[in-house]
Amino acid sequence: MSKVRRSMLFLPGANAAMLSTAFVYRPDSVMFDLEDAVAVSEKDSARLLVAHTLKMGVYQRYGIETVVRVNAIDTPYFKDDVEAVVRAGADVVRLPMTHTPEDVKELEKLIESIEQTGIRPVGSTKIIAAIESAQGVVNALAIAQSSPRMVGIALAAFDYLVDMRSARGDGTELFYARCTVLHAARVAKIQAYDVVFGDVNNDEGFIQEATKSKQLGFDGKSLINPRQIELLNKVYAPTAKEIANAKAVIQAAEEAEQQGLGVVSLNGKMIDAPIITHARMVLEMASQYNLLH
């Protein structure tokens, strides 16, 4: 199973206090933001702060993946951002405003040129592409398949909805985009991450949206507040009942195989291959979440 990325916490790149302490919240991944969360006047200083934080290695010591959202390709900050964070050891570069596979290839080429200087192994820096426009949604599959460095694609709601002349509502406005991004990720065999939930004081609303994200098939969600981490992780963790059922399914399948039976049944119900595969996935996930006893 791929690396667990349920919770991906945004951290403003210009906020030194947050950069140096956010590991205590233990998200699966932190996303140092050099783009929207940083004023133009602070772009250079934020880049230096993030690079310094990466070089300290504190997040790596706690097993927290480091992702950096750089500025978009069409900005004057893009190349300097990528140069700094790749050299500093970022695990993943998140590319905003990914409209076409060519955008990813441009980033990939730049990363490889930096790695080839010997600063780090070639191929070690991964990529997440953020889908933030109608064009990006239409090109989602091509984007998802555009690079072997790609570990995931993320839907970002605000700019996409502006592009669509829409606004946040009950989720209907994002349904097509969510499904398109998910299908692209599954075909490409990479992960998919759902949009930020902006109302940090609405825990009930957050849980409802996170539950829908999980039901749709998203691997995780981008977050803007540490209080959302535990809520999200609980939503994504298999329940005790799901784990017990998965164990029973696997046991029944193994017993049938040992007896040379072509048919697997459990409690009078037939169990086919997709059910067995799903049970294995649940147990793999439970293992990664340290829920197996």
**DSSP structure string for 31-43:** EEESSTTS-GGGH
* Assigned domain for 293 exists: no
Residue 276: what pLDDT? Answer: 84
Same domain? 208 vs 145 = yes
Same domain? 93 vs 207 = yes
Residue 219: give the domain boundaries: 7-236
Residue 210: what pLDDT? Answer: 95
Residue 153 has pLDDT above 60, yes or no: yes
Does residue 225 sit in helix, strand or coil?
Answer: coil
Residue 204 has pLDDT above 70, yes or no: yes
Residue 217 has pLDDT above 90, yes or no: yes
242 CB-side CA count, 13 A = 17
* Assigned domain for 256 exists: yes
Residue 46: what pLDDT? Answer: 97
51 CB-side CA count, 13 A = 16
Q: Please report, for the domain that includes residue 161, its CATH number.
A: 3.20.20.60
Higher pLDDT, 270 or 208: 208
Q: Quick: pLDDT tens for 76-86.
A: 999 999 999 99
% of the chain exceeding 90 in pLDDT = 73
Q: Quick: pLDDT tens for 120-134.
A: 999 999 999 999 999
Which of 41, 43, 163, 47 has its CA nearest to residue 99? 163
* Assigned domain for 145 exists: yes
26 CB-side CA count, 13 A = 5
Residue 159 has pLDDT above 80, yes or no: yes
* Assigned domain for 224 exists: yes
What is the number of structural domains in the chain?
2
Same domain? 25 vs 88 = yes
Residue 262: what pLDDT? Answer: 66
Same domain? 268 vs 147 = no
Q: Quick: pLDDT tens for 1-52.
A: 468 888 999 999 999 999 999 999 999 999 999 999 999 999 999 999 999 9
Same domain? 278 vs 211 = no
pLDDT band at 274; cut points 50, 70, 90: confident
* Assigned domain for 1 exists: no
Higher pLDDT, 66 or 249: 66
DSSP state of 22: G
Same domain? 228 vs 246 = no
Higher pLDDT, 252 or 150: 150
Does residue 222 sit in helix, strand or coil?
Answer: strand
Same domain? 115 vs 249 = no
Q: What is the mean pLDDT of the chain?
A: 92
